[in-house]
Amino acid sequence: METTSSSADDTRSGWSPVLTRVRLKGAHHVVTRHGHAAAVLVPADWHAQAGGKVTDTITAQDAVRGLARLLDRAHAGEHVAVTYRGKTGAVMVPPEWHTQVAGASPGPKNDAPEGSSDTP
């Protein structure tokens, strides 16, 4: 799985390419705040296969406008689905949950290009 990362500010300004990469290419994206992983945006189908339980659903537009709140919710343990054009495309999850589940899945843990991080 390809894993990329960026700060919350960079994620907010580059939201559309991040969401597209997660939705269409199956990438995972770590969002950092103050130098630490705050949340991970994962594809909705990967989340479902991993046994994740969605606690709320918001639109992509609301997600980018309220990114700080979304990161707070993920940090508190919530799994929040993000819809795009009426369909769930991604889920923002706590980094600890992602690390635990991704570490348990078979296959290589990091096919990411050099410079990106596989672990929060």
Instruction: Give pLDDT, residue 1.
Output: 76
The list of the chain residues with pLDDT below 70 reads: 104-120
Instruction: Give pLDDT, residue 105.
Output: 55
Instruction: Give pLDDT, residue 100.
Output: 94
Instruction: Give pLDDT, residue 107.
Output: 39
Q: Provide CB contacts within 8 A for 40, sequence distance 6+.
A: 28, 29, 30, 31, 74, 92, 93, 94, 95, 98, 120
Instruction: Give pLDDT, residue 9.
Output: 93
In the β-sheet with 28-33, what is the strand arrangement from edge to edge?
Answer: 3-7, 28-33, 36-43, 87-93, 80-84, 56-59
Instruction: Give pLDDT, residue 40.
Output: 97
Instruction: Give pLDDT, residue 104.
Output: 67
Instruction: Give pLDDT, residue 79.
Output: 98
Enter the tokens of residue 117.
């991080």
Instruction: Give pLDDT, residue 103.
Output: 83
